[in-house]
Each structure stands twice: as structure tokens, then as C-alpha cells.
Chain A
């Protein structure tokens, strides 16, 4: 087991260096000299240009720059935003709770609806419910979520007026963000209606971001359940006269969960990609919108740092899922 963990960790290191190299090279590959862009329309004198160039280290050989960037990253220094002049690291972690809150809610939405739906579909295989559900799941899976978001806005914000169109909470409420999670902060503030407002703002983005994971989880649960339901031990349990509810809910679901958990773990990347679109449409102040804005503002250190942090996050989650999988299923370790 230890060998397995160590070998997995070892492959992490070159991948990490590679990811750093890629995000590092983007700032050099982007069109336009970053210093000229930063100076804006006022322009720069030659001396000031040289000074800034030295300040950012652009005058040194490229491998020296990369080495310094890499060592800086390992110490938590990702550079400073051109626009806000704040460290990228601080900006990222100020905005990250918003994305995390949205992603967690979307995942809960997907699991709470997708898991039972998949189980019921598998148990009623071939019947109307199964076929209707699987068709719906395929539609959800094929959904362009940016359009789905606009449709929901038309119906729920436009026609019905139930939900707000953008932001995390109504401007009426103000309180310090202690945790960065609006649901917790609004409850803690004790202001009447603040929590309800936060929930209302969260509703549509959650549905939009959770739609594709929901479809994937429902499909995956169904096929995993079907496979398990064909096993001998299920037949034995049936022969012993166990109730169908217990067989399906306890014996089968437990074993069907393994591939489902993997899918849940692996959809972190999908969630983050979806967050880019969802946050942009709902003006949700998280890292997805931050990245898109920074790309348009040519805020290179932010693009570079954000890209790296997001990739590392995805890698860490995938690594954890891999290891958990190894813990659950000893056959994997042998490979």
C-alpha cells in the first residue's frame, strides 16, 4: 500500500513541474509586451521601461526566470496582479470560497437527485420511468449550460420574478465576510431575510452548474447498479427472502457506489470548467469569473497563477480519488 501511495506521489512531481512550466510560458506567449500593456495609454520612457523590466525580472535569461517562478510558487508567491496590485495568492483565496460554495451546492444537488434517480431507473429497468429518466439524462448531458442559464433567467427571473439575476446577495444586506461562505455568513449575521436572499441568489447558479454532473451521476449510478444487481450474492440475498428495499438500498447500492464515487471525484474539473460559464453569466464573484475577466484585462500574473492553482487543485483531487480507490479496491494497487 505504501509503495502504491509513494509511486502515485512520485508521478505527481513531474506533472506539477510541467503544469508550472505551461502556466509560466503563457505569460511569455501572450501577444503584447506585458510591461507596455501595464503602462496603458500613457506610455513609458525607456528608463522606466528598463526599470520595470528589471523589477519583474524580464531582463534575465528565461530559465533563471522559470527557476525563480518555481521556487516562488513553492513558497506561496505567485506574483502580483497588474490591475489590483494585490498578490495573486490573496486574490485567489478571497474569491475561492464563492466558487467552493457554488460547486459544493451544485454537487449536493447532483448527488441528491442523481443517486436515487439512477437506483430507481436500474430497479425498474426498461420500464417507462427508466426510459424517460435516461432520455432526460442524455438531454442534460448534452446541454449547453450557458444557454440553459439564460433560459432559467428568462423563466424564473423574467417571467416569474422569483430569483435575482446576478450576484451573491441583495445589496440591502451588509455584513463582514467572516468565512467567505455567504450561506454561513448571512446566517451568522442574524439579519432578517439575509439568509433567504443568499439562498435565492444561489438557486439558479446551482441548478445550472449541477445539471451536467446530475446527468452523469444518474447514468453512472444506473449502469453500476445494473451490473451489481446481476451478481450472485444479490440472487442469494433474494433467495433468502430479504426485502427488495434492503437488497437494493443496502447490498447493491453499497457496491455500486465505488464507480459512482470515482465519477464524483473526477467531475471536479468539469465543475471548474462549468464555473467559468456559470459565474460569468450570473456575475458570481468567484475564480471562474475572475479568470475570464483577467484574460480580457490581460492581467498576466493572475492568468498564470490562477491557471496553476486550478490545475494543482484538480490534480490533488484526482490523486486523492486514485488513492481512495486503491484503499477500497486492493486489485488496483497491484498494477
Chain B
């Protein structure tokens, strides 16, 4: 190979990089739902970061004179509290806005922990000798045998009810999916020629795992990350609803629902809005996940 060839090959590679990103965006943009999902998610992230400064009132301040006020458009509503107040006189809108950060935090932490742990274990299982691989996969089977919410519930009971422990429990429960996914892609990638040549060139296991193979296994993992972001939010809200997640007076959406339960027939708004917030967020993330899958992983593409 002459030196000019090398340079042009390099130039092509440099050229290819933004091309891939643009290609991704091209496919992602084709899915209108995914773009809407992305916008809602961006708004959600914005609220999660700047919530306390945007909210009209404090999330925990109790206006004792104004308990259970309906939303502004209903008779008896006030412009001071756009979405009404809860049984303790706290502003619903402010609580919802501030609550965004808990769900966002749960999603980020759970996905980071579960994905990091799962990818590491999956890589090890994919490269390990058969006996170690079997042991790891049996352990994952064991975790997957329990319905996820039940296992998370019992784990939280062991650790003590709090948002942090709920996140740990959910991460443990979600992590086997990453292990399976990573291991499956590693096993199929390992047989490719480029991995063999890397090994012949003298690459150690560490390099093979993280530099050679892992980047080529990422597409399904990213899709899984989006999907488990929404699962994490749902499960954390469910745990909060059962009294095993964030504790009052934290304005976590699931916990807010639990507090509002006894008022469902008297004040529809205290029940409706927190759930709606969960639904819209989860829906947006799932829409985005569908778009990611279409753009990143043509094999999984929905026909």
C-alpha cells in the first residue's frame, strides 16, 4: 500500500464519522413519533434540572387556607394554583414540576448502574471459559425467574424503604437483560474475522473486550437502555405507590398518587395529574426508544 492510499483511506474514515451520525439522524427523523418523544423528553429533562426555579410555589409549602382547591378552569379554582392544591394545601403544579427530577434521576441512575454492571458481566461471560459462562448465566436466570416488581419490593423491604434503595433494587432486577444482550452479541461478534485478526495481531483480552468487540455490540444495548429508562420510572413510581419508594413529603409522582388515594372520589385532580405525568414521560421515552431501534438496529426494525 502506498502512502497516498493510506492517507486517502484515512481521509475516508474521517469522512465517515459525521456521516454515520447524520445517517442515524436521518432514520431517526423519519419516525415522527420518535421526534415528538425526543421533544417531550427534552422538556422533561429541562424541568428535572431547573424545576425548583420554574415552579410557582415551593413543592412542600402548605397553604392551609387553600386545601383541595380544584384546577383553575373548574369552579372554585384559583389562578394562584393552576392545577389545584392537594389535601395539605400544597400546589399541585409545583409538586409535579419538582417531581420530574426524581423520576429523571431514577432513570439515569438505574440505567447507568444496570447497564454498566450488565455490560461488564456480559462481556466477561462472552469471553470466559464455558464453566464460568454457565455459572453467570444461571445466576441471571435465577434473577429473571422472579417477577421484577416482586423482587424489587422484597429487596426494598430488606434494604429499608427509600428512593435510593428502590433505585438499587430496580437496577439489580433490570441488569440481567443487559448481561444476556451483551453476551449474545459478544458470542456472535467473536467469530468474525476482524476479532480473529485482532487476536492474531496480539491484542489482549482487555483490548479485545472493550476496544474491538464492545463498540460493535452497542446498538441493541442503547435501545435496551432507552426501554429500561421507562421501566425504571414505572417501577420506581409503583414502589412509591406501594409505600416502598420515595417517602412523603417527597413530591415523587408515585408517592403523590399513594398520598392522594383516599381522595379519589372527592378530588379527581390530585389523582389524575401525577399519573398523567408518569404516563406522558414513559410514553415519550418509549416513542424515542422505537425511533432509536429503527435508526440503530436495522435487524430489529419493525416492518
User: Which residues from chain A contact B35 at a C-beta distance below 8 Å?
Assistant: none
Interface assignment of A255: CB less than 8 Å from any CB of chain B: no
Contact B148 A273 (CB under 8 A): yes
Nearest Cβ distance between residue A100 and chain B, in whole angstroms? 15
> Given contacts A142-B282, A310-B147, is CB(A277)–CB(B268) below 8 Å?
no
Q: Which of B2-10, B41-49, B78-86, B138-146 contacts A (4 or more CB under 8 A)?
A: B138-146
CA–CA, A150 and B153, complex, Å: 21
Q: Which of A142, A291, A311, A312 neighbours the largest number of chain B CB atoms within 10 Å of its CB?
A: A142
User: Which residues from chain B contact A150 at a C-beta distance below 8 Å?
Assistant: 257, 261, 264, 271, 275
Q: For chain A residues 144-158, which have a beta carbon within 8 Å of chain B?
A: 144, 146-148, 150-151, 153-154, 157-158
Contact B158 A269 (CB under 8 A): no
- Say which size band chain A's interface belongs to: 35 or more
Q: Mark B137-172, 1 if CB is under 8 A from A, else 0.
A: 011011001111111011001101000000000000
Interface assignment of B55: CB less than 8 Å from any CB of chain A: no
- Say which size band chain B's interface belongs to: 35 or more
User: Which residues from chain A contact B251 at a C-beta distance below 8 Å?
Assistant: none
Interface assignment of B119: CB less than 8 Å from any CB of chain A: no
Interface assignment of A241: CB less than 8 Å from any CB of chain B: no
Q: Mark A213-234, 1 if CB is under 8 A from B, else 0.
A: 0000000000100110010000
Interface assignment of A141: CB less than 8 Å from any CB of chain B: yes
User: Which residues from chain A contact B185 at a C-beta distance below 8 Å?
Assistant: none
Contact B141 A154 (CB under 8 A): no
Interface assignment of A166: CB less than 8 Å from any CB of chain B: no
Please, which residue of chain B has its CB at the minimum distance from the CB of A15? B141
Q: Which of A18-26, A33-41, A111-119 contacts B (4 or more CB under 8 A)?
A: A18-26
CA–CA, A295 and B149, complex, Å: 13
Contact B275 A15 (CB under 8 A): no
> Given contacts A15-B138, A31-B160, A144-B237, is CB(A307)–CB(B264) below 8 Å?
no
Q: For chain B residues 241-269, which have a beta carbon within 8 Å of chain A?
A: 241-244, 254, 257, 261, 264-265, 268
User: Which residues from chain B contact A230 at a C-beta distance below 8 Å?
Assistant: 303
User: Which residues from chain B contact A29 at a C-beta distance below 8 Å?
Assistant: 158
Interface assignment of B94: CB less than 8 Å from any CB of chain A: no
CA–CA, A219 and B302, complex, Å: 10
Please, which residue of chain B has its CB at the minimum distance from the CB of A296? B243
Q: For chain A residues 4-20, which have a beta carbon within 8 Å of chain B?
A: 11, 14-15, 18-19
Q: Mark B159-198, 1 if CB is under 8 A from A, else 0.
A: 0100000000000000000000000000000000000000
Q: Mark B8-19, 1 if CB is under 8 A from A, else 0.
A: 000000000000
CA–CA, A315 and B142, complex, Å: 9
Closest 7 CB pairs of A and B: A147-B275, A18-B142, A273-B147, A273-B149, A142-B282, A142-B283, A311-B145
* Sample of 4 further A-B pairs with CB below 8 A, known A144-B282, A270-B147, A310-B146: A142-B283, A144-B254, A311-B146, A312-B145
